[in-house]
Amino acid sequence: MRRLFIGFSYPWRALHLLIGQPRWWRYIAVPIGLNLLVGVVLYTTLMLAGFHAIDTLVADWPDWIAWVLRGVLVVALFIGLGYLMVRFGVVLGSPFYSRLSELLEEQLRGVTLTAPQATPAQLVRDLGRALLFEVKKLLLMVTVGLLALLLNVLPGIGSVLATMIGIALGVTIACLDFFDPPLERRRLTFRAKLGFIRRYLPASAGFGLICLGLVSIPLLNLLAVPICITAGTLFYCDVATTESATSEHD
């Protein structure tokens, strides 16, 4: 439980750190502006349509089942919109967030990160890796999401189980998103990134859960993406420093 709560703490540590570093604010301001435009579109269209669809779906169910099902589906709607918000936010703000993550790691670990030369071939390779990463996340979501969808055929308990699986999937995707800048700098494979999350359970689960919650709250998620990116780099630096100290001790 202690490690789980340590995972919860990273966004708050990240916020405190960012407040004390005004020189980094420029790497946050532009993505937030882009996120604001995307958020207005998403929440004025998809949210209203989602609430209407939920009301239509539960209209013929008994009252107590409709109440539970409506709550489950509303949570799923907010998580889904939060996921879309993160997708747009991370992609549109990636150049700024990558630089923010680099500066943070250089400061915390006392190292200078040398980026590969930005040749056309390197840019193509980076773009290919980024697209492949998104495709693999999508495949993971579809595979696990279909399993959760099948559980909904079970009355009552099926929807609860499906929601739990959906939240676990959302936590995993959140970890992949917000741990990615430092992990991608090491050119880790998708499997290795999942291994990083698994290796540092339950702290990584606590981190992913709190980040998933933050990005699922309308308006707050405009600020949550850069905070969670910073938090993911903090997490990586902490475990990398701990491993380095352990290796030197051994």
181-221 pLDDT, tens digit per residue, is: 899 888 899 999 999 999 999 899 999 999 988 887 777 77
Q: Residue type for 79, please?
A: I
Q: Please check the confidence at residue 246 and state whether its pLDDT lies above 70.
A: no
In this prediction, residue 115 carries a pLDDT of 58
Q: Please check the confidence at residue 90 and state whether its pLDDT lies above 90.
A: no
- Distance between CA 231 and CA 14 in Å, rounded? 5
Mean pLDDT of the chain: 81
In this prediction, residue 249 carries a pLDDT of 53
In this prediction, residue 171 carries a pLDDT of 92
Question: Dihedral sign, CA of 129, 135, 140, 143?
Answer: negative
Candidates 240, 248, 245; CA nearest to 106 is 240
What's the whole-model pTM score? Answer: 0.75
Q: Please check the confidence at residue 82 and state whether its pLDDT lies above 90.
A: no
Q: Please check the confidence at residue 156 and state whether its pLDDT lies above 80.
A: no
- Distance between CA 224 and CA 97 in Å, rounded? 12
User: pLDDT category, 176, cuts 50, 70, 90?
Assistant: very high
Inter-residue contact 176 to 197 (CB < 8 Å):
yes
Inter-residue contact 115 to 43 (CB < 8 Å):
no
Three-state DSSP state, 25:
coil
Q: Which residues contact 168 (CB under 8 A, 6 or more apart)?
A: none
In the block, residue with structure tokens 């999937």: 169
Three-state DSSP state, 155:
coil
Instruction: State the average pLDDT over residues 110-115.
Output: 67
DSSP state of 116: P
User: pLDDT category, 60, cuts 50, 70, 90?
Assistant: confident
Candidates 209, 190, 194; CA nearest to 82 is 209
Q: Please check the confidence at residue 33 and state whether its pLDDT lies above 60.
A: yes
Angle 133-114-130 (CA atoms, 0-180°, nearest 5)? Answer: 10
Higher pLDDT, 134 or 214: 214
